[in-house]
Amino acid sequence: MMISLKNVSKDFNNTNILNDINLTINEGELVRIVGSNGCGKTTLLKIIAGLLKADGGNITYGEGCNIGAVIENPSFIENETLLYNLKFFLNTHKPQVSEN
């Protein structure tokens, strides 16, 4: 198991977007998430990538699991400061620094 979601939920403005999502993605497995506009696909991917916090449930990442995401409209981690967001993304992406 690389990623496991159990009963993951998310609300926005008192509207339930994701309700009790259960999903297991094994190493080497490709998963396609499909659905109509506004059904929560991007929200789910942002939660898996750590860009949003779920309101309920648990997400477990397997040892050595690395998550990367390219989101259409990049956003910050909610309820965190700009400095926190900058540090998070710098630590996540570990850019190479040149002294030249």
pLDDT confidence of residue 72: 66
Q: What is the arithmetic mean of pLDDT over 8-30?
A: 92
Q: Where are the beta strands (DSSP E) in the chain?
A: 3-12, 15-25, 56-61
Place 94 in a pLDDT band, splitting at 50, 70 and 90: low
CATH number for region 3-73:
3.40.50.300
Residue scoring higher pLDDT (96 or 4): 4
Instruction: Check pLDDT > 80 for residue 5.
Output: yes
- In this structure, what token pair is assigned to residue 96? 């190479």
The mean pLDDT value of the chain amounts to 83
Q: What Å distances lie between residue 70 and 15, 51, 75, CA to CA?
A: 25, 11, 11
Extents of the domains making up the chain: 3-73
